[in-house]
Structure formats: C-alpha cells, structure tokens
C-alpha cells in the first residue's frame, strides 16, 4: 500500500488518474450529502477522516510501496455508505500523500486501491451477505463488521501485490512469499478493531451507522 511515484511506469499512473477522476465525480454527484447536514454527522465524517490519516501514518515496511497499515475502510463504508466512504477515504489518501507518505503522481492509484477498491469490496460483501444471511444483530457484528473487514484488507493487499507484480516493480516470489503473508496478521487486527468500533457505534450511537437499522436487526429477535 502507499505506492510511490517511481514504482510503476508512467502509463500506470496516468491510467489511474483517468479512472479515479470520473469515479470521484460520480460519488460527489450521488453522495447523500443531506446526511452531513447535522453537526453530529458531519463531525463524525470529518473526525473519521482525521483519525484515519493518523492511523495510515502509523505504518511498517522496509521497501517503497510495501508499507503495511490498518485501513478502516469497512467501518467507513458501513457507517456512511459507499459514496461518502469513497470521498472520505480519498481525502485520507490526499492527506497522507501531502504529508509525504506517497508521491502526488501516485495519488490516483493509491486512492483507487485504498479508497475505491476497498469500499467496493466492503459494499459488495454487505449487499450480498445481507441477501443470504438472517438480519440479526450478531450476524451484523461478527460477519459484516468483523469478518468482512479482514476480507477487505486481504483483498486490497492481494490486488496491490498483483499490480506490483504485473508492473515488474518486485518479483512475484518476493511479493507473495515475503510480503503478502503479513496481510494475514494485519487482517486479524483490522477485523478486531472494526468489530469493536462498529459494536460501540450500534450499541450507543446506532444513528451513526447507515447500514444498521434497529427495526431490521433488533426487533423480535
């Protein structure tokens, strides 16, 4: 994660910009901005952005583009839906980039991976699992909040390794033998923290979680 300006060929970066700009514009157009009309919701959205900037800055890694850090995308997507989550995580990526965590040329590819792809996976998992699993409080916590958070970060790590391998930045053996296994450890931490945060939200502030509905998950249970 956090790819730098010199890891991929220039074509990759401009292609990423060409993909990110219309996706970001679409999310700005379709985002439920009325959700942020109240100070409580807007403060929560902005607070999550600032908090994740700090979380993403606490990373570990020995080679460019291979830094590991918690993501928080699943919590963001469950709380605000895909469009506001994508916009918020794009701003997180921008903050980390301006702070020196990555180059400005690589911003779009980082935003697509860390914001776009992570939110896509989280939202698709929520939609598909909601159709086949019972709408129960413990299902929401242990599956949507805990289990899915680990899948999201593993998916981001896998796609990042694929991109670096296809671009020839690192050897396939190094990426999948020496780097990707660490995502398994990171996924457990991501799942535990995501489950804990979402549990606190739905217990004490259920109005903070757009994907959680008391009448669906608690009534007659």
* Structure tokens that stand for 140 in this block: 């929401």
Helices (H), the chain: 10-30, 39-57, 73-96, 107-111, 118-132, 137-139, 148-166, 172-173, 181-204, 214-217
* Structure tokens that stand for 203 in this block: 């217990």
How many C-beta atoms lie closer than 10 Å to residue 83's C-beta? 21
The CATH number covering residue 101 comes to: 1.10.1760.20
Domain assignment present for 4: no
pTM here is 0.94
Q: Which domain holds residue 23?
A: 10-217
- Report yes or no: 89 and 118 within 8 Å, Cβ to Cβ: yes
Domain assignment present for 1: no
Instruction: Kindly give the confidence (pLDDT) of every residue in the chain, 221 residues in length, as a single tens digit, with 9 standing for 90 and above.
Output: 778 888 888 899 999 999 999 999 999 999 999 999 999 999 999 999 999 999 998 887 778 888 889 999 999 999 999 999 999 999 999 999 988 767 789 999 999 999 999 999 999 999 999 899 888 888 999 999 999 999 999 999 999 999 999 988 899 999 999 899 999 999 999 999 999 999 999 989 999 999 988 777 766 55
Domain assignment present for 5: no
Alpha-carbon gap, residue 221 to 212, rounded angstroms? 15
Domain assignment present for 179: yes
Task: Give me the number of domains the chain comprises.
Answer: 1
- Report yes or no: 194 and 147 within 8 Å, Cβ to Cβ: no
**In Å, how far from its chain's centre is CA 24?**
15
């Amino acid at each position: 994660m956090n790819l730098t300006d010199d890891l991929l060929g220039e074509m990759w970066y401009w292609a990423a910009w060409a993909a990110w700009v219309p996706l970001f514009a679409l999310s700005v157009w379709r985002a439920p901005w009325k959700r942020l009309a109240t100070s409580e919701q807007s403060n929560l959205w902005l607070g999550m952005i600032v908090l994740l900037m700090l979380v993403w800055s606490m990373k570990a890694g020995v080679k460019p583009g291979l830094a590991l850090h918690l993501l928080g995308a699943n919590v963001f997507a469950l709380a605000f839906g895909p469009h506001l989550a994508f916009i918020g995580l794009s701003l997180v990526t921008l903050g980390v980039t301006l702070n020196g965590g990555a180059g400005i040329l690589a911003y779009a590819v980082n935003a697509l991976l860390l914001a776009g792809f992570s939110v896509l996976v989280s939202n698709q998992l929520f939609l598909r699992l909601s159709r086949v699993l019972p709408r129960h409080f413990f299902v929401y916590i242990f599956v949507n909040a805990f289990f899915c958070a680990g899948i999201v970060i593993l998916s981001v790590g896998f796609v990042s390794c694929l991109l670096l391998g296809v671009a020839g930045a690192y050897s396939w053996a190094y990426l999948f033998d020496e780097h990707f296994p660490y995502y398994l450890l990171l996924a457990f931490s991501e799942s535990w923290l995501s489950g804990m945060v979402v549990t606190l939200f739905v217990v004490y502030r259920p109005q903070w979680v757009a994907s959680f509905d008391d009448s669906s998950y608690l009534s007659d249970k």
